[in-house]
Amino acid sequence: MQAVGKLMKVFITRRVPPEGMKILSAAGACEVSQWDSDEPVPRTELLKGVQGAHGLLCLLSDKIDAEVLDAAGPNLKVISTMSVGFDHMALDEIKKRGIRVGYTPDVLTDATAELTVALLLATARRLPEGVEEVKNGGWSSWTPLWLCGYGLSGSTVGVIGLGRIGMAIAQRLMPFGVKRLLYSGRTAKAHAAEVNGEFVPLDTLVSESDFIVVSCSLTPETQGLCDKAFFSKMKNTAVFVNSSRGAVVNQEDLYQALTSGQIAAAGLDVTTPEPLPTDHPLLTLKNCVVLPHIGSATYSTRGIMSALAARNLLGGLQGTDMPSELTF
Ligand code: NDP
Ligand code: DGY
């Protein structure tokens, strides 16, 4: 770290939990400026704020592209994102400029897996519809087929992307009595044995699963992966859940699949865009449960993410190890 008087400049694009801010101020060697709001930094303010910065602490809602890197200029040594996803960053441009990147894997895995399981159950067992019916007087009596859904016991679950979060989801689902756990991705995973996971081609996963959970990263290959052809291969009784990134799904095709009875229901923690406009057609559907990207939203997880993002930033500024450096 440079001596006092020549403090490294850091720009933080949002208010972040205090754990991270405390770490930065205790280090006592960087001059922090911040977009002091709970709302995303406007693009013009980001371009202004980053000027001359040595370090940038950003969130997944900030697009970090060549324009931002050019605005920052040659001082920029490190970008630390308070997220495990890094699809908002132009890694090719970042690499060209020799900038290091920190991110927050592992620390949010449990929280995100837990939320994904909650979303799957809420969607499959129609919890939001049930709550609504209690409130609006639609509950007349115990009725044999009213608000019936689909259960996990004896089912086949397909996980697209059995990475950290995908695996944690599988581990949580197996005790519900899941019979077969299929997964797809680029490579078979040794850790899949823990959940008796079968590595299968995507088409097999799509056509044989009763529940499909998307937990892969967003890449050029996974963008739009869940489209008309994908949904047309699913069982009519199958439930689709996405907690990765909205752009993995073609939402028009999903809408068609949900309204035509091609698939039973969908639960989405992530959408395109975010926030999803309140007049979006998906929000008119009873068989679609949409959450506002809250996978990692526990107080403790967000605090730990903030602390890790701060430590990554300091490591990058100091030219030392970063606890979680992205290799790319
Ligand atoms: P990992 O890197 O551990 O897992 C990513 C998985 O994506 C890998 O298993 C990888 O499988 C798979 N994948 C990559 N390319 C493809 C492909 N072409 N087809 C199928 N699978 C593919 O990351 P995490 O589990 O930690 O996080 C996953 C994602 O979850 C993040 O990138 C982020 O977008 C999202 N996320 C969402 C949150 C939320 O709040 N909803 C919270 C946290 C994360 P393989 O190695 O075989 O290619
Ligand atoms: C991430 O970290 O990528 C999530 O989407 C939010 O925690």
CA-83 nearest atom, ligand 2:
2
Cβ-contact 196, 185 below 8 angstroms: no
Query: Which of 217, 274, 304 to mutate for ligand 1's pocket (most ligand atoms within 8 Å of CB)?
Result: 217
The CATH number for 47's domain is 3.40.50.720
Q: Give the H/E segment covering residue 127.
A: helix 127-136
Residues 154 and 33 in one domain: no
The reported pLDDT for the residue numbered 166 is 98
Q: Is 185 in the pocket of ligand 1 (CB under 6 A)?
A: yes
5 pLDDT tier (thresholds 50, 70, 90) = low
Contact assessment for residue 8 and residue 2, using Cβ atoms and an 8 Å cutoff: yes
Report how far ligand 1's centroid is from the alpha carbon of 51 (Å).
Answer: 32
Q: Do 36 and 79 fall within a single domain?
A: yes
Q: Whose CA is nearest to atom 2 of ligand 2?
A: 83
Q: Are 156 and 278 members of one domain?
A: yes
Rounded mean pLDDT of 165-192?
98
User: Which region, left, alpha or beta, applies to residue 319 given φ > 0 means left and ψ of -120 to 50 means alpha?
Assistant: left
Q: pLDDT by residue (tens digit) across 253-274? A: 999 999 999 999 999 999 999 9
Residue identified by tokens 């079968």 is: 198
pLDDT at residue 53 tops 90: yes
pLDDT tens by residue, 56-80: 999 999 999 999 999 999 999 999 9
Per-residue confidence (pLDDT) for residue 177, from 0 to 100: 98
Residues 102, 164, single domain; the answer is no
What domain range is 308 assigned to?
A: 8-106+299-326
How many independent structural domains does the chain possess? 2
Output the CA 217–ligand 1 centroid distance in Å. Answer: 3
The pairing of strands 156-160 and 100-102 is unpaired
- Say yes or no: 137 and 280 in one domain: yes
Q: What are 130's two structure tokens?
A: 């049930």
Q: Are residues 139 and 178 in the same domain?
A: yes
In a domain, 233, yes or no: yes
**C-beta separation of 248 from 242 below 8 A:** yes
Could you read off the pLDDT of 81-98 as tens digits, one per residue? 999 999 999 999 999 999
Which residue shows structure tokens 């639960």? Answer: 267
Q: Are residues 256 and 315 in the same domain?
A: no
Distance CA 154, CA 166 (A): 20
Span 130-146, mean pLDDT? Answer: 98
Query: From the CB of 115, is ligand 2 less than 6 Å away?
Result: no
Which atom of ligand 2 has the smallest separation from the CA of 103?
Answer: 2
**Mean pLDDT computed over 209-216:** 99
In sequence order, what are the residues at sequence separation of 6 or more whose Cβ sits closer than 8 angstroms to the Cβ of residue 173?
Answer: 117, 120, 152, 157, 181, 211
The answer on pLDDT for 275 being more than 80 is yes
From atom 4 of ligand 1, which residue's Cα is the shortest distance away?
Answer: 163
Interface predicted TM-score of the whole assembly (ipTM), two decimals: 0.99
* Atom nearest to 187 CA in ligand 1: 47
* pLDDT of residue 179 exceeding 50: yes
Closest Cα to atom 1 of ligand 2: 83
Clarify whether 293 is annotated catalytic.
Answer: yes
Confidence at residue 247, expressed as pLDDT on a 0 to 100 scale: 98
Residues 149 and 268 placed together within one structural domain of the fold = yes
- Establish if 292 belongs to a structural domain: no
Distance 61 CA to ligand 2 centre (A): 10
In this structure, the answer to whether residues 163 and 239 fall within a common structural domain is yes
pLDDT tens-digit readout, 8-36 = 999 999 999 999 999 999 999 799 999 99
Alpha carbon 187 to chain centroid distance?
A: 21
Contact status, residue 55 vs residue 30, Cβ threshold 8 Å: yes
Ligand 2 centroid vs 139 CA: distance in angstroms? Answer: 37
Q: Does the Cβ of 84 fall within 6 Å of ligand 2?
A: yes
DSSP category for residue 233: H
Closest CA to 63 of 112, 133, 119, 13: 13
